[in-house]
Amino acid sequence: MTTELHSQWIPIASSSDLPLRHVYQAKLLGREFAVWRADDGYVNIWENRCLHRGVRLSIGINDGRELKCQYHGWRYANRTAGCTYIPAHPADAPARTICNNTYPAQEAHGLVWCGEQAVGEIPALDGFETATTLRPIPINAPRDFVIEALTCYSMADGCAGLVNEDGSVTVTAGDGSAVRLFVQPCDSNHSVIRGVVNRAAQGADHIALLRTHSQALSALRRKIEAQAAQLEALEPMSAPIGRVAEDLVDIPAASTDGRNADLRVQVAAKERTAEGIVSLRLEPLTGSRLPTFQPGAHIDVHLQNGLVRQYSLTNGPGETDHYTIGVKREPDSRGGSTAIHDSVQKGDVLAISVPRNNFPLRRDAVNTIFVAGGIGVTPLLSMARTLNSQNLGFEFHYFVQSDEHVAFKQAIGEFEQAASLHKGLSPDETVAVLRKVLAEPGHARHIYICGPGPMLEAARQVASNCGWSDEAVHFEYFKNTVELDDSNSFEIDLARSAVTLTVPAGQTILEVLRENGINMGSSCEQGACGTCRCGVIEGDVLHQDVYLSDSEKAEGKSIMTCVSRAKSDRLILDI
Amino acid sequence: MTCDNKILLNDWHVVAEADLLAFGDVQRTVLFEEPVYVSRDEDGGITVRRNTADGAKLPLQEKYGFIWTCLGAPERDIIHVPEAFEPDRYLVSGGSFGVKVSGLRVVENFLDMGHFPFVHTGWLGEEPHTEVQPYEVELTKDDEIIASECYFYQPQASPTAEGGIMVEYTYRVYRPYTVALYKTNPTYPDRNDYIVLFVQPVGPEDCIVHPYLCYVKDGMEEDTLRWFMQLIFAQDKPILENQIPRKLPLDPRAETPIRADKVAILYRRWLRDHQVTFGTLPAVA
């Protein structure tokens, strides 16, 4: 039942009830709250039950950013109360929005204010600009009964009390001292008196002031409780528990989209390695070995919010007891990098794919030039560390905004003599540097480029202008920004299985293959990583990926099945 | 008494542990909100009576070391536990625990592996081994729920287990208030240890749990076994008593299930199909 009181701001706790990393249990109009302050100061007032099995969140753990349920370790984010982690399903937990009920919160006058449907402003406390917050006095009596009794409250000579519009009571003494008393209705027969006095006090004076009121209010409390015991007890208030969203009823099916997350790793460390970039050290749950990787390899990380993201390993050769990845917070993140920055924590279990390498490193070059831009440094770091340990010649050019943006400084320190940092260059200045760096193509010389799209394009262009052959220029895009056209319909013949399938408009080759039970590996599914590459035996390909080089595209012998299509009516694929 | 569920009233329920009922002793307990007196006279004879003026006698059985009664007309016998008749097993009561929550919540907790690393840390589970693998659930033709192929990594699965092992469980719900598990014996991988909970419904939000263990003796001490059960249950109790609401909600939209809860989902549906209203909150139409 909703009453006028539900739309009022009412104090439910003292600010001092929310010390660092504590969770406070409060109650208002029959509803329990878990009240906790995050390390950023934000005060959260949530329904006091985990959405999973109803366990009180007030017995949970406040880690400063999230509240963790004691029962199954579900974690809920500061501010939004959205569930960020379900340990029972580290691989594929909900691509669903599981969100606890939150209630409006304000903090003022040393009190925390709430109202299930609070509107408007908290009561103005004119004349209480400098104030002292009293200790709360719980009382077993109905709110209205307490309010009435409080008008007779007396802490000094000549006290007069009056009830304010908001139901609070102001008591003014002859000497001008005043106290404003708010009554928090926890339940029908349970209230808490929360008071504010109109003067600040320090040290012994402060203690004395609190004591005076605690004693006077306690005396009044005994009187009120004795009278209230004579009243007919009211029915407890009911605070109906809301139903969860309809789409949460059905258990989500295990992920079947073919992007396997066969490995479980634990986040052993999460560190800020540069401005806006965190590094994660991932270790096996048992034992001390992870599958072998090659320099340039990436893993798929299956996030709790259902997203799958690709990150390159930065490991040096032989480091198979852990994987290290670097993740940049993307300003236009669709939830991947944000989840890693804000939600993933040390100790979490992550589901990842085995490493795949679609960006292989040749080790037969007499000289290798690495061109890294921003977070594009990650795969090149692994490559450079490999060449360095084999004493193979290379140059490492790292383009960054500023010193603050240099990630993985320690790893780069391993090959300091080969590394050149280029800081804060404009696009034109970058091109000028690249012209010098890439000036000398030659036999057994190779370039590896990874970085943001425009920088990568520029580097490829410079390399081409300088006379580098396509085969010597290796690159990896983060993402495909090509505008995809999926409007045509065509047929695919699968040469090895003698099957013909139709790819309709709006569907990809990859999707059609999967629908027909052909499990094609994939990773980024946007034409950037190269995992779903497939041989083409016949037919013209409409390339829409950024993985294949121009000469590979012209040759037409490969297709990225996640984005590319047929130009002709049919393609014969080598599957 | 507010319970009018025939499936519950016409069934046998534990009301006392026989060993703890001394000669000349009278114990008061509560079953379905009704006071019940269990007594043993000086000759050892046991009676169970209602709290009525005439002290009407109730039906009585002594089995598995417990005293059982029925407030209605018994429609089926107490469950048969073959493990309790194998001579090389300890047959141990785990002690009787009062828990201020619906007994059906206790059963559901017993069926749950996901809480092991968080509630039974270092014993039945340990972070980061938190994943609940897919398992099989079925409703048998005998109207029992069986969850099988339940695997979970446990650092100390039993008092005798040394080091972490992957343990296989089979869960079995016999009746609304009776649930058991079969668990790989760490010494004899081809044999199962067996634990059954006989939950005594005191009220809709109040129960007494009587665990009964049938454990292979070899490599185990009887008192260690009892201690282990009590440790585990003492870890569950504060969590169970902090569940809101205390009754088990049968509305599919009351709480948020995940795949690991497959067996719990079937249990709730099964209670709904059997119109169990005592200790539950009904589904919203």
Rounded mean pLDDT, B138-150: 97
Is residue B281 domain-resident? no
Cβ-defined contact of A249 to B243 (cutoff 8 Å): no
Is residue B76 domain-resident? no
Which residues in chain B are closer than 8 Å to A249, comparing Cβ atoms? 252-253, 257
CB A525: neighbour CB atoms within 10 A?
Answer: 23
- Kindly provide the ipTM of the predicted complex, given to two decimals: 0.95
Q: Which residue spans within A247-365 are E strands per DSSP?
A: 263-274, 277-284, 298-302, 308-312, 323-328, 349-352
Pick from B54, B69, B58, B53: nearest CA to B15: B69
Domain that holds residue B64: 6-69
Q: What are B50-66's pLDDT values in tens digits? A: 988 888 999 999 999 99
Partner residue facing A88 (CB), from B132, B245, B255: B132
Is residue B112 domain-resident? yes
Partner residue facing B256 (CB), from A32, A98, A264: A98
Q: Is A251 on the interface with B (CB under 8 A)?
A: yes
pLDDT at residue number A83: 85
Nearest residue of B to residue A55, measured between CA atoms: B243
CATH number at residue B96: 3.90.380.10
Let me know whether B63 and B180 are in one domain: no
Q: What is the C-alpha separation between A533 and A516, in angstroms, rounded? A: 18
Cβ-defined contact of B253 to A49 (cutoff 8 Å): no
Let me know whether B99 and B160 are in one domain: yes
CATH number at residue B18: 2.20.25.680
Pick from B71, B67, B68: nearest CA to B56: B71
pLDDT at residue number A256: 56
Q: What are A69-124's pLDDT values in tens digits? A: 999 999 898 988 988 788 998 766 554 578 899 999 999 999 999 999 999 999 98
Cβ-defined contact of B258 to A86 (cutoff 8 Å): yes
Cis ω before B128 (30° cut-off from 0): yes
Let me know whether B229 and B101 are in one domain: yes
Instruction: Please tell me the distance in Å from A566's CA to the nearest CA on chain B.
Output: 40
Whole-angstrom distance between the N-terminal and C-terminal Cα of chain A? Answer: 64
Let me know whether B94 and B61 are in one domain: no
Q: Of the candidates B47, B69, B91, which is a domain's last residue?
A: B69
pLDDT at residue number A335: 79
Let me know whether B130 and B229 are in one domain: yes
Q: What is the C-alpha separation between A466 and A463, in angstroms, rounded? A: 5
Q: Is A49 on the interface with B (CB under 8 A)?
A: yes
Cβ-defined contact of B114 to A87 (cutoff 8 Å): yes
CA torsion angle A327 A328 A332 A337 (round to 10): 20
Q: Is A421 on the interface with B (CB under 8 A)?
A: no
Partner residue facing B131 (CB), from A70, A71, A264: A264
Is residue B39 domain-resident? yes
Let me know whether B60 and B120 are in one domain: no
Let me know whether B63 and B96 are in one domain: no
Give chain B's domain count.
2
Q: Is B166 on the interface with A (CB under 8 A)?
A: no
Higher-scoring residue by pLDDT: B202, B186: B202
Cβ-defined contact of B255 to A54 (cutoff 8 Å): yes
Instruction: Please tell me the distance in Å from A69's CA to the nearest CA on chain B.
Output: 9
For chain A, percent helix, then strand, then coil, each to nearest 5?
20, 30, 50
Cβ-defined contact of B259 to A51 (cutoff 8 Å): no
Let me know whether B195 and B226 are in one domain: yes
Is residue B107 domain-resident? yes
Let me know whether B18 and B119 are in one domain: no
Sign of CA dihedral B182, B183, B185, B191: positive
Partner residue facing B128 (CB), from A89, A245, A349: A349
**Residue B145 and residue B133 in contact, taking contact as beta carbons nearer than 8 Å:** no
What pairs with residue B203 in β-bridges? B206
Residue in B255, B261, B267, B269 to test binding to A, most A beta-carbons within 10 Å: B255
Return the number of CB contacts < 8 Å for A and B: 109
pLDDT at residue number B157: 65
Q: Is A51 on the interface with B (CB under 8 A)?
A: yes
Q: Is A94 on the interface with B (CB under 8 A)?
A: yes
Is residue B157 domain-resident? yes
Looking at residue A390, the DSSP 8-state letter turns out to be T
Cβ-defined contact of A72 to B254 (cutoff 8 Å): no
Query: Is A89 in a helix, a strand, or coil?
Result: coil
Instruction: Please tell me the distance in Å from A114's CA to the nearest CA on chain B.
Output: 21
Cβ-defined contact of A56 to B132 (cutoff 8 Å): no
Let me know whether B152 and B97 are in one domain: yes
Cβ-defined contact of B115 to A71 (cutoff 8 Å): yes
Which residues in chain B are closer than 8 Å to A32, comparing Cβ atoms? 244
pTM of the model: 0.84
Partner residue facing B255 (CB), from A53, A91, A245: A53
Partner residue facing B260 (CB), from A70, A89, A264: A89
Give the H or E element holding residue A180.
strand A178-187
Which residues in chain A are closer than 8 Å to B164, comparing Cβ atoms? 286
Q: What is the C-alpha separation between B235 and B237, in angstroms, rounded? A: 6
Q: Of the candidates B210, B225, B240, which is a domain's last residue?
A: B240
Cβ-defined contact of B114 to A72 (cutoff 8 Å): yes
CB burial of residue A210 (10 Å; 0-12, 13-18, 19+):
middle
Between the CA of residue A422 and those of A330, A396, A425, what are the distances in Å? 22, 10, 7
Which residues in chain A are closer than 8 Å to B262, comparing Cβ atoms? 251
Is residue B265 domain-resident? no
Partner residue facing A71 (CB), from B119, B134, B258: B119
Let me know whether B205 and B92 are in one domain: yes
Would you list the DSSP string of B37-74?
Answer: EEEE-TTS-EEEEESSTT--B--EEEETTEEEE-SS--
Give the H or E element holding residue B6.
helix B6-9
Cβ-defined contact of A54 to B256 (cutoff 8 Å): no
Let me know whether B34 and B161 are in one domain: no
Rounded mean pLDDT, B233-250: 97
Q: What are A134-147's pLDDT values in tens digits? A: 999 999 999 999 99
Where do the H-state alpha helices sit in A176-236?
203-228
Nearest residue of B to residue A89, measured between CA atoms: B131
Cβ-defined contact of A266 to B262 (cutoff 8 Å): no
Q: Is A252 on the interface with B (CB under 8 A)?
A: yes
Is residue B275 domain-resident? no
The residue ranges of chain A whose pLDDT is under 50 are 95
Q: Tokens 């800081």 map to which residue? A: A423
